[in-house]
Chains A and B, each alone.
Chain A
């Protein structure tokens, strides 16, 4: 539970990632190419953004299951506001992000005001927001966005996919926030012992409210990027993405009980999963085999880190 054990988990994970990269590059010569790796970066941005916010949420001992539905809702609203309401696309994207943020705020209010456990609160809003998305979309999809919009999801800046810059910016900001600021410290204290946090005069409710709101915000940003990347909007977008994000966070060493975790760990976890998915696909392994392997890696990584952490009683 010291800084040392954090570094240990992440070092372990980074070594594992390196190993996976080497093994996979031996399996297929298409894997370790700049083009392929950048493309994989493109694919993992949406999950990545969500996972970064999720790291904070889980580090407080909470969870946000509704992010996939918020993504779906924001994606639909982007399209519907533009096509059916006739607003400029730039405005609708912002409006959709605002709605996603509010959806996150609602989660936060349910959790902090009405003391509903995060698992249940966000399980409920998972259904609620997805239902809203489906109701609004009426099972229609939106296509034919203007060309400039695709810069976000399909374009490049300085040779690197646009959204990867956004992910990088988010990761760096979040790392600094969690590791070096009062807010980050408050997150860890809440996750380790919420009662003590309260008795120390820390703003438990305010912090949680901000985190769930931020989680909604990142899910909505991910939605806009997603729409831009795939050129279309459907109401089932982002289904199950919460589980991918949680997997990355937990693989990255964040304790599901709270109090422990880093953004760096989450990012390495994210890369590891994406590398496995893509590399195994290129190596000709079937999809179900890949999922099983990811499950196995998750369990092994957790076991290994628990082993390191155990340093005798007292």
Chain B
């Protein structure tokens, strides 16, 4: 396969936005029937490269060669016509339309009368889905009723319906659970076997080693290296990505664990928080594992007062408290770094300064008036403490990379001096460097006696960072494991264990 000529070759690609160079002389190619992983920290230029390849941006310099011919994409339509399709991170389907309607949208087969041939649309959609081993999906289902994993398969079917020869997958597993990841990887292998070239963007090393044939690393917009996967190991790739070697992947600190600060007894809210009881101690990291929909986030929302408990007890330092709103939770010393930082954690057009002080406006005010200087000094201290990489504190957070955005959200909540910090997917979509920095911050916090409740879909993170692991399934706690006994097998078993019949 190594001598198969490339289907697409990019060479010497550069691109600048408003004078800022985001890609410098990058070269990249994809051969038919290979999985070529594209790797780099957030802000390394992966997204820009992908957008150039899919026709959304035109490069300032450089050439794109497809099948030996020099091409220029004026629009995504041109790229599609050339056989390049993209499955974006944020899936771009129309929720109100059916699966079949989405797959052929803008591209409907027509009868001789020029009318859309719906029978054909449905049967061809069926064929495409079957070819992806997706027999469980009804072509007439509305997309809004599908899970993320199912939507993704619809996206892939859509790409195939356009006879894609190169498929770009931008962090396809970012929001998938373990089982769906495995299924997706099967699909990717199958596409490869059919001769489709796949550009696979992911932060997850395990997937890259399981799937990719070659890997290209970008750093700060520049090409670093292209290697055969067999020639590199994980540490080597990480070093290429960050330009330095990362000490340890999960820097768990051994901190003496203190008395219980939070105790929850028989807590209930709706279908997803059922009869939850557990304790959280000072200096402890309590990991929460579970599949999507297992009630992990709902539990956090209930503790944070977003969806107040309908029954049960919450005790802080042994005293029962009632938490009816996030403000109350904050005043009790509970902070919540939400799952979706763009939607729930940040005001993206606003500056770092304003985002950092958002949950503690009274601390930067005298009376009702904001004190700009106090605000600035707090924001500056936060930038320093968390190592947020930015031009200055008046830079809009939208311009920061995912990892730095996440640090801003964490900084916002550290302003409240929480005693209990709930982190929901603290490192999702965050590059390796920032990820280990966030883990270091967690270590620092527990050293100061903060109790951390960490929800994560990434099992290695849960196992690596937690003192104890609480496993949820179907709104209930199915197991609580000490660090020593928490193996992937036991956690995995508890995650899927007793699904009740109504879990449809």
Please list the residues of chain A having a beta carbon within 8 angstroms of any beta carbon in chain B. Answer: 1-3, 180-183, 185-186, 188-189, 192-193, 195-203, 259, 311-314
B328 CB → nearest A CB, Å: 8
Task: Known contacts A2-B351, A312-B17; decide if A200 and B412 are in contact (CB<8 Å).
Answer: yes
A-B contact count (CB 8 A): 81
Q: Which of A185, A198, A199, A311 has the most CB of B within 10 A?
A: A199
Return 24 A-B CB contacts under 8 Å, by A number: A3-B394, A182-B362, A182-B368, A182-B369, A183-B368, A185-B361, A185-B370, A186-B361, A189-B354, A192-B347, A192-B350, A193-B343, A195-B343, A196-B343, A196-B344, A196-B347, A199-B336, A201-B325, A201-B359, A203-B327, A311-B18, A312-B18, A314-B17, A314-B22
CB distance B343 to A182 under 8 Å?
no
Please list the residues of chain B having a beta carbon within 8 angstroms of any beta carbon in chain A. Answer: 17-18, 20, 22, 306, 325-327, 329-330, 336, 338, 343-351, 354, 358-359, 361-362, 365, 368-370, 394, 396, 399, 412
CB distance A199 to B347 under 8 Å?
no
Specify which chain B residues have a CB less than 8 angstroms from the CB of A3 in the assembled complex: 394
CB distance A193 to B346 under 8 Å?
yes
Interface of chain B, main secondary structure: mixed
Of B20, B326, B351, B368, the residue contacting A200 (CB under 8 A) is: B326
Task: Known contacts A198-B306, A203-B327; decide if A192 and B368 are in contact (CB<8 Å).
Answer: no
When chains A and B are docked, how far (Å) is the Cα of A2 from the Cα of B395?
Answer: 8
When chains A and B are docked, how far (Å) is the Cα of A183 from the Cα of B368?
Answer: 7
B245 CB → nearest A CB, Å: 29
When chains A and B are docked, how far (Å) is the Cα of A182 from the Cα of B359?
Answer: 11
Specify which chain B residues have a CB less than 8 angstroms from the CB of A312 in the assembled complex: 17-18, 20
A76 CB → nearest B CB, Å: 35
CB distance A201 to B349 under 8 Å?
no
When chains A and B are docked, how far (Å) is the Cα of A169 from the Cα of B306?
Answer: 39
Chain A: CB-nearest residue to B361:
A182
Specify which chain A residues have a CB less than 8 angstroms from the CB of B329 in the assembled complex: 201
CB distance A180 to B343 under 8 Å?
no
Q: Which of A3, A196, A313 has the most CB of B within 10 A?
A: A196
A176 CB → nearest B CB, Å: 8
A185 CB → nearest B CB, Å: 6
Of A193, A200, A202, A311, the residue contacting B348 (CB under 8 A) is: A193
Chain B: CB-nearest residue to A191:
B347
When chains A and B are docked, how far (Å) is the Cα of A2 from the Cα of B354?
Answer: 11
Specify which chain B residues have a CB less than 8 angstroms from the CB of A203 in the assembled complex: 327
CB distance A1 to B396 under 8 Å?
yes
Specify which chain A residues have a CB less than 8 angstroms from the CB of B20 in the assembled complex: 312, 314
CB distance B396 to A2 under 8 Å?
yes
A277 CB → nearest B CB, Å: 34
Q: Which of B22, B369, B399, B412 has the most CB of A within 10 A?
A: B369
Chain B: CB-nearest residue to A1:
B349
Chain B: CB-nearest residue to A310:
B18
B88 CB → nearest A CB, Å: 15
B318 CB → nearest A CB, Å: 24
Specify which chain A residues have a CB less than 8 angstroms from the CB of B345 in the assembled complex: 196, 199
A180 CB → nearest B CB, Å: 6
CB distance B344 to A195 under 8 Å?
yes
When chains A and B are docked, how far (Å) is the Cα of A177 from the Cα of B415?
Answer: 24
Specify which chain B residues have a CB less than 8 angstroms from the CB of A183 in the assembled complex: 368
Specify which chain A residues have a CB less than 8 angstroms from the CB of B338 in the assembled complex: 199
Chain A: CB-nearest residue to B22:
A314
When chains A and B are docked, how far (Å) is the Cα of A119 from the Cα of B320?
Answer: 42
CB distance B368 to A181 under 8 Å?
yes
Chain B: CB-nearest residue to A255:
B349
CB distance A199 to B344 under 8 Å?
yes
CB distance B399 to A198 under 8 Å?
no
Specify which chain A residues have a CB less than 8 angstroms from the CB of B22 in the assembled complex: 314
CB distance A188 to B350 under 8 Å?
yes
Chain B: CB-nearest residue to A188:
B350
B303 CB → nearest A CB, Å: 13
CB distance B17 to A313 under 8 Å?
yes
CB distance B350 to A189 under 8 Å?
yes
Chain B: CB-nearest residue to A259:
B349
Specify which chain A residues have a CB less than 8 angstroms from the CB of B368 in the assembled complex: 181-183
B355 CB → nearest A CB, Å: 9
Specify which chain A residues have a CB less than 8 angstroms from the CB of B326 in the assembled complex: 198-201
Specify which chain A residues have a CB less than 8 angstroms from the CB of B370 in the assembled complex: 180-182, 185
Specify which chain A residues have a CB less than 8 angstroms from the CB of B325 in the assembled complex: 201
Task: Known contacts A180-B370, A185-B370, A195-B344; decide if A200 and B358 are in contact (CB<8 Å).
Answer: yes
Specify which chain A residues have a CB less than 8 angstroms from the CB of B361 in the assembled complex: 182, 185-186, 202
A306 CB → nearest B CB, Å: 14
Specify which chain A residues have a CB less than 8 angstroms from the CB of B369 in the assembled complex: 180-182
When chains A and B are docked, how far (Å) is the Cα of A310 from the Cα of B325?
Answer: 38
CB distance A196 to B346 under 8 Å?
yes
When chains A and B are docked, how far (Å) is the Cα of A236 from the Cα of B346?
Answer: 45
When chains A and B are docked, how far (Å) is the Cα of A200 from the Cα of B336?
Answer: 9
A111 CB → nearest B CB, Å: 19
When chains A and B are docked, how far (Å) is the Cα of A5 from the Cα of B344?
Answer: 25
Specify which chain A residues have a CB less than 8 angstroms from the CB of B362 in the assembled complex: 182
Specify which chain B residues have a CB less than 8 angstroms from the CB of A199 in the assembled complex: 306, 326, 336, 338, 344-345
When chains A and B are docked, how far (Å) is the Cα of A195 from the Cα of B351?
Answer: 17
Specify which chain B residues have a CB less than 8 angstroms from the CB of A311 in the assembled complex: 18
A59 CB → nearest B CB, Å: 13
Specify which chain B residues have a CB less than 8 angstroms from the CB of A188 in the assembled complex: 350
Q: Which of B306, B327, B329, B350 has the most CB of A within 10 A?
A: B350
A110 CB → nearest B CB, Å: 21
When chains A and B are docked, how far (Å) is the Cα of A189 from the Cα of B345?
Answer: 12
Chain A: CB-nearest residue to B357:
A185
Of A1, A182, A201, the residue contacting B327 (CB under 8 A) is: A201
A175 CB → nearest B CB, Å: 13
Chain B: CB-nearest residue to A205:
B325
A23 CB → nearest B CB, Å: 35
CB distance B358 to A189 under 8 Å?
yes
When chains A and B are docked, how far (Å) is the Cα of A198 from the Cα of B370?
Answer: 20
Which 10 pairs between the two chains have the least Cβ-Cβ distance? Answer: A312-B18, A1-B349, A312-B17, A201-B327, A201-B326, A200-B359, A182-B361, A192-B347, A181-B368, A201-B330
A313 CB → nearest B CB, Å: 6
Specify which chain B residues have a CB less than 8 angstroms from the CB of A1 in the assembled complex: 349-350, 396
Chain A: CB-nearest residue to B371:
A180
When chains A and B are docked, how far (Å) is the Cα of A201 from the Cα of B368?
Answer: 17
Specify which chain B residues have a CB less than 8 angstroms from the CB of A200 in the assembled complex: 326, 358-359, 412
When chains A and B are docked, how far (Å) is the Cα of A203 from the Cα of B358?
Answer: 12
When chains A and B are docked, how far (Å) is the Cα of A313 from the Cα of B57?
Answer: 10
A99 CB → nearest B CB, Å: 28
When chains A and B are docked, how far (Å) is the Cα of A2 from the Cα of B352?
Answer: 12
Chain A: CB-nearest residue to B327:
A201
When chains A and B are docked, how far (Å) is the Cα of A259 from the Cα of B325?
Answer: 23
Q: Which of A3, A185, A201, A311 has the most CB of B within 10 A?
A: A201
B421 CB → nearest A CB, Å: 14
Chain A: CB-nearest residue to B396:
A1
When chains A and B are docked, how far (Å) is the Cα of A192 from the Cα of B365?
Answer: 21
Q: Which of B347, B370, B394 has the most CB of A within 10 A?
A: B347
Chain B: CB-nearest residue to A3:
B394
B400 CB → nearest A CB, Å: 10
Specify which chain B residues have a CB less than 8 angstroms from the CB of A189 in the assembled complex: 347, 350, 354, 358
CB distance B358 to A2 under 8 Å?
no
